[in-house]
Amino acid sequence: MKHTVMLTVASLLSILFFTLHLADDIVRGFEPGTLTNLIAVPTLVFWLCGTLMLAERRSGYIITLLGGLLSSLVPLAHMRGKGVGITSRIANSNGHFFFVWVLFAIGVTGLFSVILSVHGLWSLRRGHADSSPQTRVS
Q: Is the pLDDT of residue 133 over 60?
A: no
In a domain? residue 47:
yes
In a domain? residue 127:
yes
Q: Is the pLDDT of residue 14 over 90?
A: yes
At 53, the pLDDT band (50, 70, 90 cuts) reads: very high
In a domain? residue 103:
yes
Q: Counting runs of H as helices and runs of E as strands, what totals does the chain give? A: 4, 0
Selection from 25-29, 52-56, 93-97 with the highest mean pLDDT: 52-56
Q: Is the pLDDT of residue 49 over 50?
A: yes
Q: Which residues contact 4 (CB under 8 A, 6 or more apart)?
A: 55, 56, 120, 130
In a domain? residue 81:
yes
Q: What is the number of alpha carbons within 13 Å of residue 115 lying toward its C-beta?
A: 9
Q: How many domains does the chain have?
A: 1
At 136, the pLDDT band (50, 70, 90 cuts) reads: very low
Question: The domain containing residue 96 runs over which residues?
Answer: 3-132
